[in-house]
Structure 1
């Protein structure tokens, strides 16, 4: 537990920052450096610097649609996750040109400051639509591409007389790009209505490549795919498979107890996660988003748990 390794002053500043450190672990080495592992991110922090540098209540947001979150404050450091346009990030501390931030899922890592800007203190604007295809394009009026789009991306109405034209809507992304999108590529802004709708949407993502640290339809890792899917239902899951394995209701390991949409975990602690697609099907990201039969698959011998996340409180 991180708070056990920190002195009282540091704990007070951590509490004032609004960050829940309970899922972190830390220890100090002989040089007084705090090695903290919030989720998967091994972040080396000097304890006195941490005390002085924790930001009490600063929120940031990316100015671009997709940016890497890195393990250490360096461009050649491992990408451990991604931050998405419109996401509110809790600023923890700054080191030269890098911010240590906690994402909306609580995941902690480093993001370069050039892609970050202050987030609105009290965001009130609600999305008008979400993008409803795996991938697409926001078009300018002269048919030039403004930016890429992907499934679930929030889109906001642009006020004025040109808001709708010939079956197209003039919309704005969370990062400010404006352009036209055909109406038949849009879906309502709220959560998907049920598990059948989610599974149908997820099957449309087959073939999207595996991307270490990815959590968008530009490329997923296994737990990023699951987290993204849950988000389409209005549920925020944690970032790593081992964390997701604690969410929701435990289901027995007998296949007759399983339902489509349950999460099945492999390894102890879990290092891979998939959706069950009917009783003997897997829908997961392994190499790419794909459908497989569980029976006879190498993963079958590594099953460690099944969870019904969508019956959990708030699902």
Structure 2
């Protein structure tokens, strides 16, 4: 650990750092009263850029930065490897191979786990980033599934219907619009930028006329192209899946492009719409 500059700023260079909670909220400033900008998820490797009292300024692999409470981050001298991932929207880790003792942690979908024993017919034994051991039922986790096609993504996306909208959300505990679309495209091996205003500028996509939009394409909404505020995944048949607080329905849901709210009408909240289609995976 090497300290640079003032005593309130410590830059760590010796260790690897991982999220050890189901998720940690990343904030604009080192305070619980500060706005959330994003989330870092369980077993995600992060870079610690600065420490201030009980807070750390972290950067995720996608380049997003924010302040998190230190308790959610652990340091390791070695890489946290994983062989399985959670396959349910909520998956429980137990301290013992017995559900009657209650959960050790409840993890969101896609959480990576280091499996150290699989002999039991019901349980995987796992070790967490902080080296604590636990157990997860085999019905709640498995090997990482193969990448899906854009057509398959349409059906996959609908398993998340009804999950709450959460500002900055990136997990099955709650998504925001761009976090939801980012997670979906990740199932195809495509890592999108974090925010919708950046996603619309992704050079791997091209603009297409709305009347040529296909299932799996992205549909963006905003005040103008320079003020993009929302994104969803087109499903076909004039429908798209997304998450939003609009219409007093703060959850993942399916809407129609012909609905006034999403029509791009000059008097709608989002008078601008744009369709974008993936043309390159590089």
Q: Does 1:166 align with 2:166?
A: no
- Residue of structure 1 in register with 2:234 after alignment: 276
**What is the aligned counterpart of 1:181 among 129, 132, 137?**
137
Check if 1:308 corresponds to 2:280. no
1:264 aligns with 2:219: yes
Distance 1:253 1:57 in 2: 51
Give 1:117 shift: 2.1
- Count of aligned pairs between the two proteins: 258
What CA RMSD, in Å, does the superposition of the two structures yield over aligned residues? 2.6
1:147 aligns with 105
Question: Equivalents in 1 of 2:14, 2:237: separation in Å?
Answer: 46
Structure 2: gaps of 5 or more residues: 245-249, 265-270
Unaligned runs of 5+ in 1: 1-47
Pick aligned residue for 2:191 from 233, 236, 256: 236
Give the superposition deviation at 1:313.
Answer: 2.2
Secondary structure of the 1:164 match is: coil
Distance 1:196 1:133 in 2: 22
Q: CA deviation at 1:232?
A: 2.6
Change (3 A) 1:95 1:174: closer
Q: 1:207 to 1:120 in 2, by over 3 A?
A: farther
Pairing partner for 1:137 from 87, 92, 116: 92
Once the two structures are TM-superposed, the CA of residue 276 in structure 1 deviates from its matched residue by 0.4
Deviations 1:154-184 (A, max 9, x none): 233223xxx233354334455645213134x
Do 1:264 and 1:303's aligned partners in 2 also have CA atoms closer than 8 Å? no
TM-score (norm 1): 0.73
Higher strand share: 2
Tell me if 1:293 matches 2:250. Answer: no
- Does the residue aligned with 2:151 lie in a helix, a strand or coil? helix
SS at match of 1:243: helix
Deviation per residue, 1:24-65 (Å, 9 max, x gap): xxxxxxxxxxxxxxxxxxxxxxxx86xx86666764222212
Distance of 2:23 and 2:97 partners within structure 1: 24
TM-score, normalised via structure 2 length? 0.81
1:124 CA drift (Å) = 6.8
Is the partner of 2:263 in helix, strand or coil? Answer: helix
Shift of the 193–289 alpha-carbon distance from structure 1 to 2, 3 Å rule, reads same
1:204 aligned to 2:167?
no
Do structure 1's residue 217 and structure 2's residue 185 form an aligned pair?
Answer: no
Residue 249, structure 1, aligned to residue 212, structure 2: no
More contact order relative to length (CA 8 Å, sep ≥ 6): 2
